[in-house]
């Protein structure tokens, strides 16, 4: 599943509600909100697929043995979303700090927002996933959890000398697989904690099953990388050609590692029965946990998108305007679209199966860890339905997000910074 952020910190890059003492941020930074807004729209496609698609109930969309090119692309295109949220969260943290705050204030800001996101994952998102808080359903530690924990780690790392930050982030992103040599079993009772830090984890806590597919190491490093880029972005020393250059370098390193096929991803690619499937194999990088190839590929595309969006410093027009609106209220959108997708899926199940739907609609969907045998064998819908519901979800969310963005621009209530 894919997922949110930067101004999960809540401070949007272009804060319409700044105090009189704070100078307005250069309008050229609207590309950060636009980039995040684009990621949020694409992210909704993957979450709708989790609730709607028939194939999501029984197989992975990236399994080359069962997928189709369109299904593979539907999932693959959403890979860039979570790295976008982590990267822009780091950028947003730096820009918030540079508005006259101390390093201590920055650390507390990151810790408090991080803890809040983790609470939302455990309480509000659990209701969005299952429409219940039953401990019989798996406890999913997904995007909000990973971003929240990354913010807490960043709260410690910001005390390091600034020149260390970018090299440290790059080193961790490229070299973290060497930690695979350290087995979780060697930590005894702390094995679960080690897997949360470095590996995909499924473990038991007080009789409940906990699933943690987002180990903190790569995601905190992506956020740190965004923070380390903050000075150049703030001072306007990172024009579009620099962003494009970073993107091309990342994609170039990805290409080299993928062709060597010995390091960078735990799943090597291999020639397939057709050219299309061979390309799919080459691009089929590992997200859980995020491999160096996954990070290089997604960050490379993100920097190229940022270069395109950052070319024009003027006020957004056309499609850029709604992207920027959504990018200013990412957490509000994230919560809203999940509940909406689940509600629509429930309505479709009632319309399709009638009274029989009441026997399973409050059971966790198989795509979210629920029992497949509790659902009809034909449960779910084809990709055309997925795309139609996705359009409906985004269309409903946009006016609500536009209203909320205006509320945040007019008011300075403290609680608004938490949603």
Give the residue ranges of the chain where pLDDT is below 70: 1-28, 189, 235-238, 312-317, 414
Residue 254 half-sphere exposure toward CB, CA atoms < 13 A: 23
Distance CA 296, CA 294 (A): 6
Short-list 286, 254, 280, CA closest to 267 = 286
Question: Which pLDDT score, from 0 to 100, does residue 109 have?
Answer: 93
Question: Which pLDDT score, from 0 to 100, does residue 246 have?
Answer: 94
Which residues make beta-bridge pairs with 204? 209
Question: Which pLDDT score, from 0 to 100, does residue 135 have?
Answer: 85
Distance CA 274, CA 284 (A): 15
Q: Which residue has the tokens 């020149």?
A: 163
**Distances in whole angstroms, Cα of residue 250 to Cα of each of 86, 90, 244, 290:** 17, 18, 10, 15
Question: Which pLDDT score, from 0 to 100, does residue 314 have?
Answer: 56
Short-list 227, 244, 251, CA closest to 305 = 244
Mark residue 162 as left, alpha or beta (left: phi above 0; alpha: psi -120 to 50; beta: remaining): alpha
Domain ranges of the chain: 27-418
Sequence-distant (6+) residues with CB within 8 A of 317 are none
Question: Which pLDDT score, from 0 to 100, does residue 226 have?
Answer: 96
Question: Which pLDDT score, from 0 to 100, does residue 237 have?
Answer: 63
Question: Which pLDDT score, from 0 to 100, does residue 312 have?
Answer: 63
Cα dihedral value 406, 407, 411, 415, nearest 10 = -130
Short-list 262, 311, 263, 267, CA closest to 286 = 267
């Amino acid at each position: 599943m894919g997922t949110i952020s930067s101004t999960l910190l809540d401070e949007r890059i272009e804060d319409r509600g700044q105090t009189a003492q704070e100078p307005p941020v250069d309008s050229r930074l609207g590309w950060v909100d636009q980039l995040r807004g684009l990621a949020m729209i694409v992210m909704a496609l993957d979450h709708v697929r989790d609730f709607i698609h028939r194939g999501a109930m029984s197989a992975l969309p990236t399994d080359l043995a069962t997928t189709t090119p369109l299904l593979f692309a539907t999932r693959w295109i959403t890979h860039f979303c979570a790295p976008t949220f982590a990267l822009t969260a780091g950028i947003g943290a730096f820009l918030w700090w540079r508005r006259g705050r101390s390093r201590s204030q920055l650390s507390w800001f990151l810790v408090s927002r991080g803890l809040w996101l983790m609470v939302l994952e455990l309480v509000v998102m659990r209701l969005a996933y299952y429409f219940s808080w039953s401990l019989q359903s798996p406890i999913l530690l997904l995007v909000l959890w990973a971003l929240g924990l990354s913010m807490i780690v960043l709260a410690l790392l910001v005390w390091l000398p600034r020149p260390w930050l970018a090299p440290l982030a790059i080193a961790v992103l490229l070299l973290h697989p060497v930690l695979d040599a350290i087995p979780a079993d060697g930590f005894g009772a702390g094995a679960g904690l080690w897997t949360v830090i470095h590996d995909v984890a499924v473990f038991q806590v007080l009789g409940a099953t906990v699933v943690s597919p987002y180990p903190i190491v790569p995601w905190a490093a992506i956020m740190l990388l965004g923070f380390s880029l903050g000075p150049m972005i703030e001072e306007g020393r990172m024009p579009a050609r620099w962003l494009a250059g970073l993107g091309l370098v990342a994609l170039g390193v990805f290409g080299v590692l993928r062709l060597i096929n010995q390091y960078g991803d735990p799943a090597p690619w291999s020639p397939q029965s057709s050219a299309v499937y061979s390309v799919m194999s080459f691009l089929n990088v590992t997200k859980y946990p995020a491999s160096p190839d996954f990070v290089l590929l997604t960050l490379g595309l993100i920097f190229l998108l940022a270069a395109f969006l950052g070319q024009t410093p003027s006020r957004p027009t056309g499609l850029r305007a709604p992207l920027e609106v959504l990018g200013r209220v990412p957490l509000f959108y994230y919560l809203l679209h999940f509940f909406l997708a689940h509600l629509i899926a429930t309505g479709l199940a009632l319309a399709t199966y009638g009274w029989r739907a009441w026997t399973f609609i409050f059971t966790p969907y198989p795509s979210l860890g629920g029992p497949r045998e509790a659902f009809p064998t034909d449960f779910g819908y084809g990709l055309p339905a997925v795309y139609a519901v996705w359009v409906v979800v985004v269309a409903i969310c946009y006016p609500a997000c536009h209203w909320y963005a205006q509320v945040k621009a007019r008011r300075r209530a403290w609680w608004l910074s938490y949603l």
